[in-house]
Amino acid sequence: MAKVGFIGLGNMGGGMARNILKAGHELKVFDLNDQVVAEICVEGATAASSATDAVRGVDAVITMLPAGKHVKSVYLGENGLIAAAGEGTLMMDCSTIDVDSAREVVAAATAAGMNMVDAPVSGGVAAAAMGSLTFMVGGTEEAFTAAEPYLDNMGANIIHAGKAGSGQAAKICNNMMLGIQMISVAEAFVLAEKLGLEADKLFAISSKASGQCWSLTSYCPVPGPVETSPANNDYKAGFAAAMMLKDLRLAQEAAQSAGVTTPLGQMSRDLYEKFTDMSADDMDFSGIINMLRG
């Protein structure tokens, strides 16, 4: 079994780190929040005094941080993880961040003689706790092969997306589709209501017709048809609208940097900006149907 350093024990990282422990690895942890560190140490992890302390003498490092700026500040520079970890340490960043930052950090790790992957996840807090996440992995074949057994401890599907940054690219492209699709499904239900078509009937028909998609059949934005939808729980997240907005912003940054126009992606970002401004922090992204009703 390996020695693993884990940094970022929040909603997602907490569950993921516990699955690394359950797999029998020796775990050293660090988070700015002492409380979450104390909780996992009761279960067998060891507290590190800093992020760099967490990576000294370990075989592999996993980070699960909020955004690109956190990842860059933790990994890069004289006091960063890359400088502190020994040559040959495997680095896995599972945070959802912008493609350019992911590539910059992987390039720095590679230059220091380390294998590193960007490995963002699909699946929420429950999947993180259950070890059933989907990992989208960017990096060399060698880095992917080295990372796969650890990611396997935390996920159900581990997919090699391509070179460094491709994991982040897959994540934002997927979530741009999701944001657009949720709005399209919500608009259709709003229109159906006005046309006197019952929501149950539209669901029964479209889930068997060409409008079918995950936002309809697994996460229907109206109460009723899908028992587990946040719509049946007063639109409590689930997948928070703020998280969707973060991913749609990342998609637009990437589109701009690549010189691509994605008009519906842009419009979805604008609509989610408006929606998050007017809703509670724990509002699910499917709640946008209530704003679209007017």
Active centre residues (catalytic): 171
| Site membership for ligand NAD, residue 221 (CB under 6 A) | no
Q: Is 286 exposed, middle or buried (0-12, 13-18, 19+ CB in 10 A)?
A: buried
Q: What are phi and psi of 118, to 5 degrees?
A: -95, 130
| Site membership for ligand NAD, residue 30 (CB under 6 A) | yes
Q: Which residue is nearest to ligand NAD (CB)?
A: 10
- Region 40-79 residues binding ligand NAD, contact defined as CB under 6 A: 51, 64-66, 70, 74
| Site membership for ligand NAD, residue 124 (CB under 6 A) | yes
| Site membership for ligand NAD, residue 155 (CB under 6 A) | no
| Site membership for ligand NAD, residue 137 (CB under 6 A) | no
Closest by Cα among 102, 33, 43 to 68: 102
Contacts of 133-137 spanning 24+ positions with Cβ under 8 A: 133/16, 133/157, 134/158, 134/159, 135/94, 135/159, 135/167, 136/161, 136/166, 136/167, 136/168, 136/170, 136/171, 136/174, 137/161, 137/166, 137/167
Nearer to ligand NAD among residue 124 and residue 223 (C-beta): 124
Q: What's the CA gap between 117 and 114, in Å, rounded?
A: 10
| Site membership for ligand NAD, residue 143 (CB under 6 A) | no
In the DSSP assignment, the letter for residue 86 is: P
- In the complex, the smallest distance separating the C-beta of residue 178 from ligand NAD, rounded to whole angstroms, is 11
- In the complex, the smallest distance separating the C-beta of residue 182 from ligand NAD, rounded to whole angstroms, is 15
In the DSSP assignment, the letter for residue 240 is: B
> What's CA 133's distance to the chain center, in Å?
9
Q: Per-residue x/- mask for ligand NAD, residues 192 to 211, rule CB under 6 A?
A: --------------------
- Region 77-96 residues binding ligand NAD, contact defined as CB under 6 A: 95-96
Stretch that binds ligand NAD, among 39-47, 121-129, 176-184, 251-259 (CB under 6 A): 121-129
Nearer to ligand NAD among residue 142 and residue 281 (C-beta): 281
Structure tokens at 150: 């650890």
| Site membership for ligand NAD, residue 129 (CB under 6 A) | no
Interaction site with ligand NAD (CB under 6 A): 7-13, 30-33, 36, 51, 64-66, 70, 74, 95-96, 121, 124-125, 239, 243, 246
